[in-house]
Amino acid sequence: MARFLIVEARFYDHLNDMLVAGARAALEKAGHEVEVLTVPGALEIPAAISMAVDSQQYAGFVAIGVVIRGETYHFEIVAGESARGIMALTMDGIPIGNGILTTENEQQAIVRADPAQLDKGGEAAKAALALLDIQAKFAS
């Protein structure tokens, strides 16, 4: 059993609740402990994961958030830079599942967040579990 940290950027409560539920269910089904940390926005997720890595308390991470396109360029910055930050951490060998949704509208986000539909939170958790397995394979 390992400890996983779900780091969520809580902006759309109802969507985050579904994403976290899916991620939590996948991790607990695999027999792992789960904690949740809330950060102000998606841009803060990579920094929070980096700080948590330094604590050596967690075997893996799941990034959760929702970025819905608006009328300004801000969407592209938040979507791209949060993904870039997470990718940089994974390239350092940190098992992270990226469950940050980037959608055109709320309806698309609902379909992707809902555990009974596309369950992107659960998929992100499964990705983190797969990376943890790969990490263990190369560590032995």
Residues making up the annotated binding site for (2S)-2-hydroxy-3-oxobutyl phosphate are: 71-72, 112
Question: Is 74 assigned a catalytic role?
Answer: yes
Residue 50, class by beta-carbon neighbours within 10 Å (0-12 exposed, 13-18 middle, 19+ buried)?
A: middle
User: What is the spatial distance between Cα 5 and Cα 37, in angstroms, rounded to a whole number?
Assistant: 7
* Half-sphere CA count of 106, side-chain side, radius 13 A: 6
Could you list the residues known to form a binding site, using ranges.
Answer: 11, 42-44, 66-68, 71-72, 98, 112
Contacts of 111 (CB under 8 A, 6+ apart): 117, 118
Candidates 35, 74, 76, 81; catalytic one: 74
Which residues are marked as active site? 74
